Chains A and B, each alone.
Chain A
Amino acid sequence: MLQAIIKHEIRLLLRNKVLVYLFTIIFFMLLSSLWIGSSMYHKQLSTIQKIKDYDTEITDSLRQRIARIELNHMVYPGFIWDDPTFAYNTARNEGPQFAVKQPFPLQALSVGQSDIQPFYYKVNITRKQYLTYDGEIENSFLQFIGNFDFSFVVIYLFPLLIIVFTYNVLSSEKEQGTWVLLKTSNQSLARLITFRIGIRYVLFTFFFWLIVTMVLMILIGGQFFSTSNWWWMVACVSLYFAYWFTLSLFVNSFSMGSAVNAMTLIFIWLFTGIIVPNILQIGLNKVYPIPSRIMMVNEERKALNSYFEKDGQELTKDVFNNPRTMIRQASVVTPGMVYGYGVIVYKSQEIKDGAAEVAERQLYSQIEKQQAAIRRFQLASPALMLQEQLNALAGTHWHQFNAFSTDVDTFRKVTQRFYFPKMAEETTFRTFTRQDADRIPRFQPKVYAGYDWSYLGRSTLVYFFITFGLLGIAYLRLLKR
């Protein structure tokens, strides 16, 4: 019997021209999204290679320049602000190192926050990375429009395709007059309809993963197979499809007309996929408003101004009005002036960092609270839940970028501890050697694709039960028909 239903279903689906055309279009969309995602991944890899090349070039140049000055009895023929034997100059010019978040291959499937959050920073001793970050040069208008990636196709387009695929699985029998015929047969109608939906689900999901796996193997290689992230992804997406197939069966079980079924399903898609996340956004912004970074800047500047009212005044006088530091002030830059600037920058930075810390903590705690609330409420929207899951599994979630940013901040402090004693001490401000150049702290790039922090297992389990609950109810309802 099952075999007969399968054959009948396949024949029926192939005969439906609209469905075949639709499938073809969606198939090409899926291919396009995978290609777009993988090209973004490859672009990141190539940018990281450029960063490495640039870093090697600049470090070699620094070593050579220091060697030339040392050979020339510490005389630098060029502009004093470019002399790398001054620790402050190197800290500003060749010293800043790149901190890189190594891309995870599965990010080809979900761009997540990787188009708006930086995957590398140039770490400067003065400016905090969050204030100077501008990331890659991206067109804001295109960012606003959004990405055409695999997760977009799966989250938005596939539910609609599933709706088109299943909305009339029962109602069409009634509208074509075959319902009565089926009722008079000795087969269980509930089982028949459930089988039909089940067969469609299996066919749909099987071909989907077959295509995705093959295309991914070609585009990014097969290393993703060995990661648990991939298998979780397969489970989550398959469950998402199962949810929509079951929901369609559930709506069908109410024995309404095809148009009403389609409208109900489209409304559910719109409500859970667009309206619920937006309402959640409004609510969370109200409960946990995220302060603007402008406030942080204002705090920094306020602290700096109050410092320069007293202590800073003394310091600048010492630097700019001291004969030791200047021969003829504002005409010739002397070594003492470079030293003085180094001291001012060091002091100012300490004050600015201290002042920004409170505002920064407030900002991040609010974002954290919003993220925690999203984890709690994501069950209200399957689209939001899958987006969170896919981002987490692809290593493109806010949480992972935040972990990277925190590591970069720690690295910045290490860099400061390396330069500050050298540039702000009278005995060391012009003793930056080749050995120092080799000792400049470097960031160890790593992949941020862990998902222990997410409620992945819990949310998947809940949706698993919801799906089975819907299936059970639909089956019982169909039994009564």
Chain B
Amino acid sequence: MIRIIFRKELKEIFRTAKLSWMIIGLLVLTALSVYNGYTYYTTHSQLLQESQATTYQQFISQGNKNPHLGAHFGFYAYKPTADLAMIDNGIEDYTGNSFYLEPHKRGIIKFREVTDATSLKSFGFFNIAYLIQFIFPLFVFLICHNIFSKEWENGTIKMLLGAGAGKFQLYAGKLLACMAVIFMIAGIIILAAFILMVACTSTILPGFTIYAAGVCIFAVIMTSIAVSVSLITRSATLSLVILSGFWLTGVFLIPRLSAEISRHAYPAITSVEFEENIFREMQYGVNGEGHKDERREKLLQRTLAEYHVDSIQQLPVFFIPITIEYFEESDGKVMDRAYTAIENNQAKQDAMVRMLALFSPFLAFRDFSMHMTATDMNTHNDFAEKAEMHRRKMGVIVDDFYQHHVEATNDFWKTVPQFSYQPPGIARRVTAASGALTILGCWILAAIGLMFFSYRKLSV
């Protein structure tokens, strides 16, 4: 009986002009998202790869210079385009990808593409992830909203039950038919994403399988909710209005509202205050360290004692690089504290948004998607940390050289290593996505609960 109902429902769904139009629309939108994702990935990854080589080449061929002056010329550390950015570019355009490696100052990640974007950016970036997160659920709701309600509206429910179909058989048949159609749609999108990934990288990335599994889970949640609402309301219109409202609330309202709540719960420090605090701590020291001039004098006395000489002129090494290296370390601690405070505050903001994702499976899936494609905040912070480590390493190399030489040639510049960044592996991505996965798990339970509730309502 389940098979008969399943076939009947499939026939009905496929017979409607609605589905044909939807599939045409879906194919057009998929093609657009594939094109957009491909263009984004290829242009960005090529530009960043080339620029990383160019900036380093410029650094190592800068010619004869005072080592410190040459170090200020520095070079950039560019965050490579994430391996699955063709599917989801996450927050890449909002974080920037360039970290300047020069002495004294921790680099701030620059060139956020969003600052040069037009207002169209606020409508989102149309790629596979956008299609799955925003448009796909609406397709699910439009297809499934009347799966049960039509039987009441057409008065065919009595006929169905009278024809010997049990409650469970009816429910299972309809649910499976919806699942089959939705999985077909999800399959088209996943296949497009797969082709896109292979076209861009010529490999099958392990993260993709987990991503595809996540899409399937998301599809199951959406379909279960739509079918249940259709049964509970028994009205196609009301069901459509409720599901559209749920979509709107989950996709736009909760994420934006939770972002605002977290901004107010954990307000960010202003740039002016941030700079002022850093300057004060560097200049006047912390925990009774004393003013920078006092610390410089103490350093000189220590250095003179170390080399058993009486004056700076007698030192066998140059004193300026020693000062630079010393303050690089103490100022580094000040900057570390300041940046860690910002990161901690942002982590609290992010955690609050994620917590509120309990009310929106769309937000939870978006979070999962960004973690799996390594276009999330964790990866960004990881990159910033690695780039900062490289900046300090570079500072030590230059200052050590500067203690004995006043001029550096290209031979020396070549001893400073090039920067390269490896994004987190699959295990770290899954760990980062565990919160989002837990919330999606909760939504599966909620969807099952809703199905049970609606099933009990299945009576004439």
Binding site for B on A (CB under 8 A): 18, 22, 29, 32, 36, 39, 47, 50-51, 54, 77-79, 112-113, 116-117, 122, 131-148, 152, 156-157, 160, 164, 167-168, 258-259, 262-263, 266, 270, 274-275, 277-282, 284-286, 289-290, 292-295, 297-298, 301-302, 304-305, 308-309, 313, 316, 320-321, 327-333, 344, 363, 367, 370-371, 374, 384, 387-388, 391, 397-398
Known pairs A278-B120, A363-B116 / 9 extra A-B pairs, C-beta < 8 Å: A18-B241, A116-B114, A137-B268, A140-B91, A141-B353, A147-B256, A266-B138, A281-B123, A332-B319
Contact present for A294 and B58 (CB under 8 Å): no
C-alpha gap A139/B267 in the complex (Å): 10
Task: Name the segment of B7-15, B258-266, B386-394, B435-443 touching the other chain.
Answer: B258-266
Contact present for B120 and A281 (CB under 8 Å): yes
Contact present for A148 and B319 (CB under 8 Å): no
Q: Which 5 residue pairs of A and B lie closest in terms of their CB atoms, listed nearest first?
A: A330-B318, A277-B123, A148-B256, A278-B126, A140-B94
Nearest CB of chain A from residue B102's CB, rounded to whole Å: 11
- Tell yes or no: B156 within 8 A of A by CB: no
A147 cross-chain contacts in B, Cβ below 8 A? 256, 259-260
Nearest CB of chain B from residue A310's CB, rounded to whole Å: 10
Contact present for B123 and A274 (CB under 8 Å): yes
B350 cross-chain contacts in A, Cβ below 8 A? 139, 141
C-alpha gap A435/B390 in the complex (Å): 44
B55 cross-chain contacts in A, Cβ below 8 A? 297-298, 301
Nearest CB of chain B from residue A335's CB, rounded to whole Å: 15
Task: Name the segment of B170-178, B269-277, B449-457 touching the other chain.
Answer: B269-277
Contact present for B293 and A297 (CB under 8 Å): no
C-alpha gap A141/B402 in the complex (Å): 41
- Tell yes or no: B337 within 8 A of A by CB: no
Given contacts A143-B114, A331-B319, A333-B320, contact A263 B142 (CB under 8 A): yes
C-alpha gap A39/B39 in the complex (Å): 39
Bitwise interface map of B from 113 to 137 toward A, beta carbon under 8 Å scored 1, else 0: 1111111111111100010001100
Nearest CB of chain B from residue A391's CB, rounded to whole Å: 6
A282 cross-chain contacts in B, Cβ below 8 A? 32, 35-36, 126
Interface centre among B69, B108, B276, by most A CB within 10 Å? B69
Nearest CB of chain B from residue A257's CB, rounded to whole Å: 8
Contact present for B121 and A301 (CB under 8 Å): no
- Tell yes or no: B369 within 8 A of A by CB: no
Q: Which of B91, B258, B268 contacts A136 (CB 8 A)?
A: B268
C-alpha gap A136/B112 in the complex (Å): 13
Nearest residue, chain A, Cβ from B126: A278
C-alpha gap A331/B300 in the complex (Å): 11
Q: Which of B63, B130, B244 contacts A160 (CB 8 A)?
A: B244
Nearest CB of chain A from residue B140's CB, rounded to whole Å: 14
Nearest CB of chain A from residue B149's CB, rounded to whole Å: 9
Bitwise interface map of B from 93 to 104 toward A, beta carbon under 8 Å scored 1, else 0: 011001000000
Task: Name the segment of B159-167, B185-193, B206-214, B247-255 touching the other chain.
Answer: B247-255
Contact present for A146 and B256 (CB under 8 Å): yes
C-alpha gap A281/B116 in the complex (Å): 13
Q: Which of A160, A167, A301, A387 contacts B119 (CB 8 A)?
A: A387
Contact present for B276 and A138 (CB under 8 Å): no
Nearest residue, chain A, Cβ from B258: A145
Given contacts A156-B248, A157-B248, A274-B123, contact A367 B118 (CB under 8 A): yes
Binding site for A on B (CB under 8 A): 18, 29, 32, 35-36, 39, 43, 47-48, 51, 54-55, 58, 61-66, 69, 73, 76, 78, 90-91, 94-95, 98, 108, 110-126, 130, 134-135, 138, 142, 145-146, 236-238, 240-241, 244-245, 248, 252-253, 255-260, 262-264, 268-276, 292-293, 296, 312-313, 315, 318-321, 342, 346, 349-350, 353, 376-377, 380, 402, 406-407
Contact present for A146 and B272 (CB under 8 Å): no
Nearest CB of chain B from residue A188's CB, rounded to whole Å: 27
Q: Which of B29, B64, B98, B252 contacts A152 (CB 8 A)?
A: B252
Q: Which of A279, A294, A313 contacts B32 (CB 8 A)?
A: A279
Contact present for B237 and A259 (CB under 8 Å): yes
B110 cross-chain contacts in A, Cβ below 8 A? 131-132, 134, 293
Given contacts A137-B268, A139-B346, contact A148 B259 (CB under 8 A): yes
Given contacts A152-B252, A274-B124, A371-B118, contact A292 B65 (CB under 8 A): no
Nearest residue, chain B, Cβ from A281: B120
Nearest CB of chain A from residue B367's CB, rounded to whole Å: 9
Chain B at the A interface: mostly helix, strand, loop or mixed?
A: helix
C-alpha gap A77/B296 in the complex (Å): 13
C-alpha gap A131/B107 in the complex (Å): 12
Q: Which of B78, B271, B296 contacts A137 (CB 8 A)?
A: B271
B66 cross-chain contacts in A, Cβ below 8 A? 316, 320, 330
A290 cross-chain contacts in B, Cβ below 8 A? 116-117
Contact present for B122 and A134 (CB under 8 Å): no
Contact present for B377 and A298 (CB under 8 Å): no
Contact present for B114 and A164 (CB under 8 Å): no
Contact present for A137 and B270 (CB under 8 Å): yes
Given contacts A54-B276, A160-B244, contact A397 B119 (CB under 8 A): yes
Contact present for A136 and B237 (CB under 8 Å): no
Contact present for B241 and A137 (CB under 8 Å): no
Nearest residue, chain A, Cβ from B279: A93
C-alpha gap A32/B260 in the complex (Å): 10
| 16 A-B contact pairs sorted by A residue (CB < 8 Å) | A116-B114, A146-B259, A147-B256, A157-B248, A259-B237, A263-B142, A263-B240, A278-B123, A280-B120, A284-B120, A308-B63, A320-B406, A330-B66, A330-B321, A332-B319, A384-B119
Given contacts A262-B241, A282-B32, contact A294 B98 (CB under 8 A): yes
Contact present for A398 and B118 (CB under 8 Å): yes
Contact present for B272 and A298 (CB under 8 Å): no
Q: Which of B91, B135, B138, B146 contacts A141 (CB 8 A)?
A: B91
Contact present for B244 and A374 (CB under 8 Å): no
C-alpha gap A384/B120 in the complex (Å): 8
Contact present for B47 and A116 (CB under 8 Å): no
Given contacts A47-B272, A281-B123, A284-B118, contact A142 B259 (CB under 8 A): yes
C-alpha gap A262/B145 in the complex (Å): 12
Q: Which of B61, B62, B111, B124 contacts A278 (CB 8 A)?
A: B124
B130 cross-chain contacts in A, Cβ below 8 A? 278
A293 cross-chain contacts in B, Cβ below 8 A? 110-111, 116
Nearest CB of chain A from residue B232's CB, rounded to whole Å: 14
Contact present for B116 and A50 (CB under 8 Å): no
Q: Which of A136, A144, A286, A384 contacts B94 (CB 8 A)?
A: A144
